[in-house]
Each structure stands twice: as structure tokens, then as C-alpha cells.
Amino acid sequence: TVARLKKYGYESIEISGEPYVYKTKDVRKLLKEHDIRCWGSVTLMFTGRSLFALDEGERAASVKYVKDCITMVKELDGYEMTIVPGTVGKVTPDASPDEEWRWAVESMKEIYDHAMKAGVRPAIEPLNRFETYFCSRAAQAIALAKATGPECGVCLDAFHVNIEEAD
């Protein structure tokens, strides 16, 4: 795949947030062989992963997963980590909006500290209301980024923005 990417003119990639699957030493070597950079990654927030889960153990495991993704990005010489805060496909809350917001901010601040030490910039990605009830619009992602820290950004995906934003 990497050879094909180079053949078709790619210069860089965003790698899936799979730090437990990839051997970064091998991936880094492969990318260097084909002169392709890894600029960052995106979290894969499937069932059991949520930065604002009701279950503390799930929240802690999710924070660890995102931190491990950030470490992977650093090891691949990347500089950006796109973070989807909650489980993709979960459209009903487990707690009050205030509780979930507090948990999300606490989780993101812990992740932010790790990211800043690693030299990787975190960015919140809002999905659309059909995939999540939490953080589905740009304004919500901006609010979460501001609550996280001054270097936390927002990553807008054209597919989701097209569904949710009026402009």
C-alpha cells in the first residue's frame, strides 16, 4: 500500500490509531523507504472507548489508548493527533450533560499534558449527530478544545461538517 501511495504522488499519510497493531519501528522504516511522512493519526473510538464513559475503568482505558496513539505518532515523527471523544455509533447519553462534559474535559486535559510533552498537537474531531450525540458540531469541538488547553486544535472532516453545519 505504501509503495502504491508513493506511485500515485502521496507525500504523507494519517495512520489509523492502532498503536497495539503497528510496530512503529517497522512502519517508520517502510515510510522512509518510500519517502512518505506520517503527519498524524486519528482515534478509532469503537465500543468500549469513550473519554466521557460512565464507567471509570472504560474512561481510564480510553485515555491510555489515546496517549498510546500519541506516543505512536511521536515515534513516527508525526505532529498531530485527531481525537474523536466518544464511541462512534453511540447516540444516547449515560449521564447528565454536565457530568459527561466534566469527564471529557478531565480526560482531554490528561491527554493534552501527554501530547505537549511528546510534541504532538491534539485536535478534537466532531462527528455528526447520526454517529454521536456528544460533540457533533464545530462550535462544540472548539469549546472542548478551549477547555482542554491553548494548543488543542479542532479537526473538521468535510463529510461530517457537510451534514451538521449551516455554513
Q: What is the mean pLDDT of the chain?
A: 95
Helices (H), the chain: 2-7, 24-33, 56-75, 97-118, 138-148, 158-164
Q: How confident is the model at residue 162 (pLDDT cuts 50, 70, 90)?
A: confident
Question: 12-23 pLDDT, tens per residue?
Answer: 999 999 999 999
- Residue 53: the pLDDT is 97
Which phi and psi (to 5°) does residue 8 adopt?
A: -95, 15
- Residue 165: the pLDDT is 85
